[in-house]
Amino acid sequence: MTTSVAASAAAKGAAVGGTLNRSLLASAKAIIPPLSADRHKGQAGRIGIVGGSKDYTGAPFFASMSSMRFGADMAYTVCTPEAGNVIKTYSPDLIVNRILDPQRTMDDVRDELAELMQRLHAVVVGPGMGRDDFMQGCAEMVVKLAREQEKYLVIDADGLWLLQNKPDLIRGYRRAILTPNVAEFARLCKACQVDNKTNPDDAAKRLAIALDGPTILEKGKVDRITDGKEVLNVDLEGGLKRSGGQGDILAGCLGTFAGWCKVYEEEVEAGTRRDDIPRDKLLLFAGYGAAVTARTCSRLAFREKGRALLADDLLPVVGKAYQQLFESDDPQASL
């Protein structure tokens, strides 16, 4: 089938390619806190999105909005002042914290970051972060604070640039999940002296083993999620348009799932949730749930927009993707 014919078929709602693993989807669903009149604002997830620099304001916006559209109660966008002035105009729903100010001392930035992060269930670091020394220094600061506070941590985009240069920052930390694309994965493998030219599943596992803690969500034609022990593959059909920003949608949904991992832990400890999921598998299942969600969003938006698809077109369908995957009696049929 040619690309144009495939696009036309997808746009008309042809049968969805790839498969959903019902058992894995059920495990991901078990992490999600149920909606309840007894909950108050923030109990279903307070997520920090750390990124946003002079040249990149879209990425943190997409990550923050998809995080809330997916089900988090609150998303805090932590960025530079000049980025924040722009991002704040995108939506009144956004909480924008202009903490990453190069005019301030790093001690002042750290103190304010540390105070904010205490309130969060999970942190996403990287979307629109940039690679200049100040922003990379801020990314390093967030990783260190997350480890000190034992926060769930998603590292994406320019956060991965930091790790390829300083992999020891994340080595051994089991509450982190990394989201490399093909190029980022290759650079991380090189930094960790992992051969990525052999079996793709084995390469992903070896990278996770080399880092000794973080879960890996390798994005590609097939997404691979691994903790170094097992590999979950996601081949569900997405859209054919590879517009920039779709990875930020994944990062936002994954950030919410990571926050829900923390909520799950707290509620199991409090005795208000059943203890059904091993702690060391939480991010593995969260990664699976976020990956199938992002692909479903891409496919739904592509059916409507086709070649004109932009990342912004995925935001309105995040809720629909959630409903089809996690609220349908037959998720595969509903796709």
DSSP summary character for residue 105: -
Read off the pLDDT of residues 251-288 as tens digits, 9 standing for 90 and up.
999 999 999 999 999 999 999 999 999 999 999 999 99
Question: For residue 113, what are its two tokens?
Answer: 């970051």
Give the amino acid at 273.
R
Which residue numbers belong to the known binding site for (6S)-NADPHX? 128, 181-187, 248
Give the count of domains, the chain. Answer: 1
Per-residue pLDDT averaged across 30-54, rounded? 95
Residue 96: phi and psi, rounded to 5, are -115, 120
pLDDT of residue 4: 40
Strands (E) across 109-162 are located at 122-125, 152-155
Q: Report CA 61 to chain centroid distance, whole Å.
A: 13
Rounded to whole angstroms, how far apart are CA atoms 267 and 244? 37
Question: For residue 97, what are its two tokens?
Answer: 């914290």
Give the amino acid at 307.
R
Identify the CATH number of the domain in which residue 201 sits. Answer: 3.40.1190.20
Q: Are 225 and 231 in contact (CB under 8 A)?
A: yes
With a pLDDT cut of 90, the percent of the chain lying above it is 91
pLDDT of residue 15: 54
**pLDDT higher at 6 or 117:** 117
313 pLDDT band (50/70/90 cuts)? very high
With a pLDDT cut of 70, the percent of the chain lying above it is 96
Rounded to whole angstroms, how far apart are CA atoms 72 and 65? 9
Please give the residue range of the domain that contains residue 170.
3-334
Among candidate residues 5, 24, 12, 7, the one with its CA nearest the CA of residue 235: 24
Which residue numbers belong to the known binding site for ATP? 219-223, 238-247
Paired with 97 in beta bridges are 78
Per-residue pLDDT averaged across 195-201, rounded? 92
Q: Are 112 and 36 in contact (CB under 8 A)?
A: no
Which residue numbers belong to the known binding site? 128, 181-187, 219-223, 238-248
